[in-house]
Structure 1
């Protein structure tokens, strides 16, 4: 039986398990595209708002914040960092800077690539559902 720490770790990483499930469901012909689209949407939401990453917001010294954060779009426990990362996603030239920061650590790379894969999967499943 799994211990409490193992269950907590799996609870934090459920989105990556869902991404694996999406990849497996694409190979099963009896599963409809609606199920895949919904599960892919959950993967994207997980990566954007819950995946464990570093904050990477700019500190007062001009360095990256190394506090733990949730998701690609949210910052750490500091209120200014939460708003700074969210604003960077929607400012005119800031998305390239934000992408560079997100890809500066392994957690950010995993979350970013999983979000892209989930978005592509959800799009393809939605098109398959509409065309069907």
Structure 2
């Protein structure tokens, strides 16, 4: 029987499990591209708003926050950090700074690469759906 901690951990990482499922569904000819596009979109949403990452917002001493956050776009439990990360996504200089910080940890790398893979998969599935 699966323990409560294992269920919670799998519940927090459902987007990565879905990415693996999408990777296994691509070579199957019986699966419609629309289903793959929808599942890939869920992977991207998971990476942007729920994947476990570090906050990486700028602190008062010009360091970066090491608190746990949810997703690439959301900050930690501090209200200012949540808004700061959303603002960083839309400013050109801050975007490169935030990208460098986000890719500093394994959680950020996993979320970023999964978001890119999900976006590519969703785009390819949509194009396949439109061409058919």
What's the TM-score, normalizing by structure 2?
0.98
Residue equivalent to 2:17: 17
- Give the corresponding residue for 1:34: 34
Deviation larger for 37-46 or 58-67: 58-67
Query: 1:83 maps to what in 2?
Result: 83
Could you list the runs of 5+ residues in structure 1 that have no partner in the other structure?
Answer: none
Alpha-carbon distance, 1:93 to partner: 2.1
Between the aligned partners of 1:114 and 1:80, the Cα distance in structure 2 is 27
Query: Which residue number corresponds to residue 116 of structure 1?
Result: 116
Query: Deviations for 1:23-54, whole angstroms, at most 9, x for unmatched residues?
Result: 00001110010000000000000000000001
SS of match in other structure, 2:92: coil
CA distance in 2, matches of 1:30, 1:103: 37
C-alpha deviation, 1:98, in angstroms:
1.3
Of residues 10-19 and 86-95 in structure 1, the stretch that sits farther from structure 2 once superposed is: 86-95
Helix, strand or coil: the match of 2:53? strand
DSSP 3-state at the match of 1:76: coil
Q: Report the Cα distance in structure 2 between the residues aligned to 1:60 and 1:97, rounded to whole angstroms.
A: 16
Alignment-derived partner of residue 3 in structure 2: 3
Aligned length: 132
Which residue number corresponds to residue 65 of structure 1?
65
Structure 2 unmatched runs, 5+:
none
Root-mean-square deviation (CA), in Å?
A: 0.6
Residue 100 (str. 1) matches residue 100 (str. 2): yes
